Structure 1
Amino acid sequence: MAENEAQPQQPNMRVLGQFVRDMSFENIMAQKGASPEAQPDVQVQVNLDAKKRGGDNQFESSIKLNITSKEKGTDTTLFVCEIDYVGIFHIENVPEDQLHPFLLIECPRMIFPFLRRIVSDVTRDGGFPPLNLENIDFIALYRAEIERRQAAEGTASPADA
């Protein structure tokens, strides 16, 4: 009896590397000479992306953040930070139908703590208190994107009958 066939192999993931692909930090408050006592209102937009790389079982997963801090009660921008952070992964034993959510949920979850530290350092080095990003619910983000795509497809073309 072949026991290997009866038991599916466990998914295997290794982080091969991670890096900042692109980053921009603009201290608008200092450029305009605004008051450093401004109370910030921080907005964070998150975009995820993933793709297969050239090597066997190698994939890339990226988190793109667009962070805007405005002064509370006004529309005065204090700073803008844009960052594209990438992880390179070796992934095995993940069924094809589960690979997409794996790349957009589990992979970002692995690299997010490193991205959080970079954002904290950049905002501190940019003249502001360190910005400690809240945890991101990657499952909710993934589900929202799937729903958005389904809604866009539903309005773009009539339902198949």
Structure 2
Amino acid sequence: MAEENGAAQPQVKMQVLAQFIRDLSFENNVALKGLTGTEMQPEVQVGVNLDAKARSQPNTFEVNAKFKVTSVNKVNGDTLFLCELDYGGIFLIEGVPQEQLHPFLLIECPRLMFPYIRRIISDVTHDGGFPPLNIDNVDFLALYRQEIARRQAAAQAVAN
């Protein structure tokens, strides 16, 4: 239909140039505090924070995903382990309209990085002395919408 109006839709091109661990931390509090013999009912909480910025090369962007995974014993509230992963990706993106670039960077790019993030967290929890943790899929669209709503509420609170 766009070609009928004389303007062709630009072809979206997305290429992953690199993915990497920026920072990784794992604390096994069970081993550190010697919590043996304690009844354990682990509860896992996952926090996600996303950020994106343009790089010096044209159409190249860096996306960072920070995951904070905490396992707490429901019985007494003790922290069993804490895993923090800061994971980055560098992407070449062409053909995305400027007004759609921000959501594209914070939704589509993390979707591509997520399987690697999940595997790293699984391996680290296993290597740290716990069963491998396969975190649930993250709805990056819902996260994006929540962040936009939070920013709008904060801006409105400042205006009032």
CA distance in 2, matches of 1:104, 1:82: 19
SS in structure 2 of the partner of residue 6 of structure 1: coil
The alignment's TM-score, normalised by the length of structure 2, stands at 0.93
CA distance in 1, matches of 2:132, 2:11: 39
1:63 alignment counterpart: 65
Q: How does 1:23-34 map to 2 (within 5 A)?
A: 23-34=24-35
Q: How does 1:80-99 map to 2 (within 5 A)?
A: 80-99=82-101
2:12 alignment counterpart: 11
Q: Deviations over 1:74-106 (max 9, x none)?
A: 211100011100110000010000000000000
SS in structure 1 of the partner of residue 133 of structure 2: coil
Question: Any stretches of 5+ residues in structure 2 without a counterpart?
Answer: none
Following superposition, which runs of at least 4 residues in structure 1 exceed 4 angstroms of deviation?
none
Deviation at 1:73, TM superposition (A): 2.2
Question: Any stretches of 5+ residues in structure 1 without a counterpart?
Answer: none
2:52 alignment counterpart: 50
CA distance in 2, matches of 1:84, 1:35: 30
Deviation at 1:44, TM superposition (A): 0.6
Q: Deviations over 1:99-132 (max 9, x none)?
A: 0000000000001000000000000000000000
1:146 alignment counterpart: 148
Q: What is the count of residue pairs matched by the alignment?
A: 157
SS in structure 1 of the partner of residue 138 of structure 2: coil
Counterpart amino acid of residue 31 in structure 1: L
Deviation at 1:39, TM superposition (A): 2.1
Q: Deviations over 1:3-31 (max 9, x none)?
A: 8x521112110000000001100001101
The alignment's TM-score, normalised by the length of structure 1, stands at 0.93
CA distance in 2, matches of 1:98, 1:56: 17
SS in structure 1 of the partner of residue 36 of structure 2: coil
